[in-house]
Amino acid sequence: MSLLNKARVELRIGGHGGQGVILAGQILGRAATLFDRWNATTTQSYGPEARGGACNSSIVLSREPVLYPYVTHPDVLILFSREAYDKFGPELAPDGVLVIEEGLRGVVEEHPGVEIHTCPAIRIAEEMDVKIAANVVLLGMFVAATGLLSKEAVEESIGASLRPHTVDAGLRCFAEGYNWYTAA
């Protein structure tokens, strides 16, 4: 079943502190509720370390009011680290979508029925001199690959979520990830 046909879609973003995992979840949740056609909840979890500790952001999208705000079997995983893949990979729904940083390609096993999308988000962000925005590059690829949220909704959310002096760079990085997928 296509993600677009589901009444409830569960997403989890995983990685290390400092990779923008929590911000990416907030951007998607805001895009869904304020600028697109979804009801949504977001929850976050992170270790005690300020940077480098494991963290994840969970988003529930629903056509109806969200009655249970927690992700139990994610339909989509967006992952930045091997540790996140090891921890959350087994939870992915059998017909799910896996979106990963290209560096994880050798780690990820083939899953029958699972769509796997890779993007060199870190490299793209580094080439754009905005290494910290690899999360937004990967979001661009996710939006292009799934169509779950509109490009315009996520762009609006980036504008509303980032500090004013970083919005232009964030939008450029998002567009780069989106265009990377559509050109591939």
Helices (H) and strands (E) in the chain, counts: 6, 6
Indicate if the pLDDT at residue 54 is higher than 60. Answer: yes
Give the integer Cα–Cα distance in Å for 155 and 80: 21
For 137-176, the pLDDT digits (tens) are 999 999 999 999 999 999 999 999 999 999 999 999 999 9
pLDDT for position 16:
85
For 64-110, the pLDDT digits (tens) are 999 999 999 999 999 988 888 888 989 999 899 999 988 887 777 77
pLDDT for position 52:
64
Q: What percent of the chain has pLDDT over 70?
A: 96
Place of tokens 């009801």: 39
For the chain, the C-alpha Rg in angstroms (whole number) is: 15
**Cα–Cα–Cα angle for 70, 71, 72, rounded to 5 degrees:** 110
Structural domains in the chain, sorted by start? 3-183 (3.40.920.10)
What is the model's pTM?
Answer: 0.92
